[in-house]
Amino acid sequence: MVLEDNEVLRNRLFAILKQSEICQEVKAAATVARCEEILRESHIDILLADLHLPDGSGIDSIRLFKQINPNGLVIVISALSDGKSIMEALEFGAIGYLHKDDSSLQIIDAIKMAIEGQSPISSSIAYVLVRRIQDASLAPLPGSSEPSSKPNTNITKRETEILDLIAKGLSYAETAGVLNISAQTVPVHIRSIYKKLHANNRSEAVYEARAIGIIK
């Protein structure tokens, strides 16, 4: 089953899966509520789940799916790339996590990897996971007097607004619409943000911004 609120992407994934020999039957849902109905009505072996949905979080669908089918496979396909979202998805049963901007991993190949016991994960997502593990291993022990150091940044109010929106998974065009600014302006701010946070992509920028408390 495909759980995705973006109609274009949902239909594309549905068509790819329908044409593949790997699937006997394909279902699709655009909301958490509809996903729950299908999960209770049909036997689903593989769930491809977005996380940011109109009526809630895909995490709830992943949790229900694993309760109904503990041996089922979950692959997240999302624009959310913050550590919290990634860890929650993995903790509740996802075996893979693909970023929507990642064109290097094909969905059928990702499913085959999951069936074979591997974890299809986009490189940008793997980067966030590695950073979280490293930060945890370097964190001061309880009771330690070692001061925590946070880099000084000069992130502007507008840049903070943009960071907050892209952290929620909005595209540059959607971000421009929400902030009522030119679509051509957003990439300019993004480049400035990357430079200030020493980031190479969206995932790194969001991670660093959360780590130093610029966004939640």
List all residues 6 or more positions away from 166 whose beta carbon is below 8 Å from its beta carbon: 172, 175, 190, 202, 205, 206
Instruction: Share the mean pLDDT of the chain.
Output: 86
- Where does the pLDDT of residue 148 fall: very low under 50, low under 70, confident under 90, or very high at 90 and above? very low
**Which pLDDT score is estimated for 154?**
83
pLDDT tens digits along 199-210: 877 877 888 888
Structure tokens given for 187: 């990439």
* Domain 2-136, CATH among 3.40.50.2300, 3.90.1150.10, 3.30.1950.10, 1.10.630.10: 3.40.50.2300
Structure tokens given for 115: 């069936």
What is the three-class DSSP state of 216?
Answer: coil
Q: What is the tally of helices (H) and strands (E) in the chain? A: 10, 7
CATH fold for domain 157-211: Arc Repressor Mutant, subunit A (1.10.10)
Integer-rounded Cα Rg, in Å, for the chain is 19
Q: What is the Cβ-side half-sphere exposure of residue 37, based on CA atoms within 13 angstroms?
A: 8
pLDDT tens digits along 95-123: 999 998 877 668 999 999 999 999 999 88
- Mean per-residue pLDDT, 129-151: 59
Output b/e per residue, 100-116; b: 16+ Cβ within 10 A: bebeebebeebbebbee
Structure tokens given for 133: 């593990």
Lowest pLDDT segment from 48-52, 100-104, 161-165, 169-173: 100-104
Q: Is the pTM of this model over 0.95?
A: no
Domain borders along the chain are 2-136, 157-211
